[in-house]
Structure 1
């Protein structure tokens, strides 16, 4: 059996005629670019660029996978997520991932022990900046008190077995696109056990 997959056709690009910055702060810049579609039609395209790349870490351990219940202001609800955030200026992605894990869960993991498994784009129709995906094995003995940032609202992290995670997915309990993409990459990389 041939495992090769035919490459899909490559669509024509939408070309940027002019980058138009409409808003910026320390977190990033919002553009409303002047663009030209492959058909020749001119228009505008909204684009967000984070100041620094993002990180997400898939924590695993004997109890399964570690999620952080996080209140997300844009959706006005609690979201079950893997620890994630952004790199600080001049901070390596692995260090940022280890820092986010410690801040949001209280679990410590040396950056050198994190395994980078890929990059995802949170919303390819809007956000240009990628998110580095890591896995980390953590244990209860490594836990301390979580210290989230001032504008974060999180509760104690929760462990879920593989079966519980599958149930959550079936029920639509996990809707964070970054978390879902990170889980998919981790499963594809074989970094998550079949048990849990």
Structure 2
């Protein structure tokens, strides 16, 4: 990213004059900071800070990619997503990825079997915390490695993973069936990495 940015003119920063915390719970804190714009105008900027870094896992196998149908309260509907969540205190992102994968899908994967794909920011206009992206080779339901039952947290609502080939994923993208920004960004990193499955050609 630094090499890309250095090839272009960089806009001046919006400078924080005072951090103003307006809400906090165990998950994170919301700030309504006092800032100074490049024009010299003073204003406010909302900023959410998660308590810990996030993780998102791209489950892959011979059948393609595994998505988790997840009911998302803010949008009031089911969203097709890759499993994701946050690190616990002092928890390594790879360990958190294994835990979140197991909780939301029932799939097991050793931390050493994960492949790091990079880091993303879920919403650069609001959320300052980063999200670590990992690829995980897993087996589809019904194979010799049938997963155990998912064990989501109390405030999560998920269904069994749905497998989609690369061709099917392209159709989902074209039809707007996948709208989760974190999932779309993780999928892009997996494709750029050459991660994938089966004998189908790259997207």
What is the SS of the residue equivalent to 1:154?
coil
Residues 6 and 35 of structure 1: is their aligned pair in 2 closer, same or farther, counting only changes over 3 Å?
closer
What is the SS of the residue equivalent to 1:43?
strand
In 2: Cα distance, 1:175 partner to 1:32 partner: 28
Counterpart contact for 1:120–1:181, Cα < 8 Å: yes
Counterpart contact for 2:57–2:84, Cα < 8 Å: yes
Which residue is 2:157 aligned to? 153
Deviation sequence 1:53-111 (CA, Å, 0-9, x none): 00000000011000000000011111000000000111100000011110000000001
In 1: Cα distance, 2:198 partner to 2:124 partner: 30
Which residue is 2:170 aligned to? 166
Which residue is 1:144 aligned to? 148
Structure 2 residues not aligned, in runs of 5+: none
Number of residue pairs matched by the alignment: 193
RMSD: 1.5
Which residue is 1:34 aligned to? 34
In the superposition, the TM-score normalised over structure 1's length comes to: 0.95
Which residue is 2:68 aligned to? 68
Which residue is 2:195 aligned to? 191
In the superposition, the TM-score normalised over structure 2's length comes to: 0.92
Counterpart contact for 2:56–2:97, Cα < 8 Å: yes
Structure 1 residues not aligned, in runs of 5+: none
